[in-house]
Structure 1
Amino acid sequence: MADIFDLDTPALLPLLPAATRAALLAAGTPVRYRDGALVHARGDRKPGLSIVRSGTVRIGNPGSDGSYTTTSILGPGHCFGEFTIFADLPRTHDVVAIGDVVIDQIPRRRLMTLYHEDPALGFALLCLATRRIHALVEFIEDLRRLPLPVQLAKHLLAMVRRRPAGEAVTLVQDDLASLFGVSRVSIGKALRRLEGDGLIAIGYGRIAVPDREALAAWLAERTVLMPLDPAGPPQLDQ
């Protein structure tokens, strides 16, 4: 299973106090989806928040040539659907189950009741939305000014920062190609460039970063703006 990539933004559930988290999940209905099942389609307007309880989902859209562009892959604790609740906007992407998935579907009415009763939920949702905007601005800026190997190195560095030293990340090259909007061939060349410079070790569906400091130093030589390392989520009383 591929590691979660969501532009280095957090899941919703870890941002919540235990009591708020329990109340939120109790307000939802767990729905099971088989591998490849459509959870939501682009254009759906039914309002509600979806939280991944188990498994992973792929967020993306098909292209006219039969290709599929993956925006993100979300795992347990991650959520989607805020557009439909707070802005009455349609869903922008298809959401498809990867393997067996359980999604807690929370209707807008129940969510808004909790939202008004518990400030911790509103704060967490605002924090999540703000961090996503921050990550998107950073990502778009990288796409405009950095060559692909540098973009990829920056993304890998952000991923390994969130795990123990020496632990490899599990990634599918097709997903990376979709994330950066390039071909699998281009991603393969960028990965081999990084491997040739001794910065990563490529295995079957896995990428290891033997020396994070070396990767950071390589990036420092090729970009004026180094990757930002977001601190942990702020606390409600700060």
Structure 2
Amino acid sequence: MKWSTDHAREPLLTEAEYDTLGSGVHRVSYPKGSLLVLNGDHSDFVLYLIDGYVKSVQRNPDCILGIHAPGRFIGELAALTSKPRSADMVALTDMTALFVPADTFLKLVANDARLAAAMMRQLGERVQELGVRVKSIINAEQQLARAILEIVRSGIGEEGDDGLRLTGFNQRDLASLSGISRESVSAILRPLKESGVVTIGRGRITVHDLEPIEAIAQRVDHALLTGHARDPR
């Protein structure tokens, strides 16, 4: 069987082009696990991967947006849009890359039609992949919100001073009822716990504020009905 991978594609740059990129371009190396870029940073440099792999990650809940192989630029959106970084970038392996200042990268793309076309194709593929991931996350949040609402509306909950107590339910039960993994339940509940919407205890879930949960379900339902996936948060 022949396996097709992104790494098998033609690199965007050749080694002969490395030394022609202009001033400020230099090689950098990082060990596995290094945080290369932090979400929200205003840095605008671009990295061209020579060796090793990098993942882009969005937090709260954690979601891997993409895995980047050698022969590709990463972090180019900040250079193209002049906006803050939209995700963390973490080295999956030991890696070597070219550090390319934003202005050098923009000149390179503007003056090289072949590279510009390749970059547009790369960005298009990332948008498609991200759309699939976002849709999956939205579906999971919808399913979990519906599961919680189903328990609440069953009348089994007990009202207390701190909210509605759903005794006898844990995250495993929510996973089973909503049809998603326990890991997904934990990831989706994390920001709800941090914002004080719910509290998870041993064999008990306490809902302090039902409106955010209803809002998630309503917004996701609307997105699915209209065919436009929107972030429910």
| TM-score, normalised by the number of residues in structure 1 | 0.48
- Structure with greater Cα Rg: 2
| TM-score, normalised by the number of residues in structure 2 | 0.49
